[in-house]
Amino acid sequence: MEIEFQDLSYEVYKRLKNMILVNELLPGEQLKQEHIAARLGISRMPLHKAFQMLENEMLVENLPRRGFFVTRIDNNQLIDAFECREALEGVAVRRVSQIIGKQELAYLKSLFKPFIGKTNIDDRKYIEADQEFHNSILKFSRNEILKKFEVIRNITYRTYRGGLIRAPKETLPEHLAIIDAIEQKDAVLAERLIREHSGKSQKCIIEKLGTSPNGVEPVLHHDKK
């Protein structure tokens, strides 16, 4: 189970990131440097760099002299993240409407084609399409700064692992309407639509949080006693 690549830290980073995102490493779990280093057949230095990267994406937290822990997703942070996402996707889609190319537009459309008209939709596949849609909007905006906000993608990704937030029947038309606005190069409309779209999901999240469904609970981080 060894890793040998050009940029060790980066490979380690990607690997750990994935392990966290798919819950192979659980929230709250401590990441002991020597253990992981040994398991990956590397020293602690490149590992430390990887941890640093993960920390900046809020996937791990560092307690000085204690170590690194997989971050628990705090409900408040979740809401915070969704609010930011709403605004930033607005920024992105505004730009996308102005600069999108034919291929990119076709790609966006292709994401949802398999679901149009269908009655029973595979949730897992729809979630994938949904995430790819939102990621593509960010990517196609060519806004370099937006790429720095991996934090938000991570949090929403981890959230969506709990299952669909709203039914495809409800969100599919919204997605299509956004794509339509982009195609019409109506930046203002596209921004309004995507913000409404995000806003609705936000509300559903907040409602769901009342019951704290999939192990998400408002816990302070790693404080004993």
Contact set with a copy of itself (CB under 8 A):
6-7, 45, 48-49, 52-53, 56, 58, 64, 74, 76-77, 80-81, 83-84, 86-88, 90-91, 95, 98-99, 143-146, 148-149, 151-152, 155, 213-214
Shortest approach of a copy of itself to residue 151 CB, angstroms? 5
> Residue 88 binds which one of DNA, a copy of itself, none, with CB within 5 to 8 A depending on kind?
a copy of itself
Q: How many CB atoms lie within 10 A of CB 6?
A: 6
Q: Whose Cβ is closer to DNA: residue 8's or residue 78's?
A: 8
Q: Whose Cβ is closer to DNA: residue 38's or residue 87's?
A: 38
> What is the C-alpha separation between 11 and 26, in angstroms, rounded?
20
DSSP output for 100-154: --HHHHHHHHHHHGGGTT-SS--HHHHHHHHHHHHHHHHHHTT-TTGGG-HHHHH
Question: Of 120, 122, 149, which is closest to residue 134 (Cα–Cα)?
Answer: 149
Report yes or no: 141 and 100 within 8 Å, Cβ to Cβ: no
Report yes or no: 8 and 42 within 8 Å, Cβ to Cβ: yes
Tell me the residue length of the chain. 225
Q: Whose Cβ is closer to a copy of itself: residue 50's or residue 108's?
A: 50
End-to-end CA distance of the chain: 37
Q: Whose Cβ is closer to a copy of itself: residue 98's or residue 110's?
A: 98
Shortest approach of DNA to residue 122 CB, angstroms? 40
**Taking CB under 7 A as the rule, which mask of x and - marks residues 29-68 in contact with DNA?**
-xxxxxx-----xxxxxx-xx------------x-xxxxx
> Residue 214 binds which one of DNA, a copy of itself, none, with CB within 5 to 8 A depending on kind?
a copy of itself
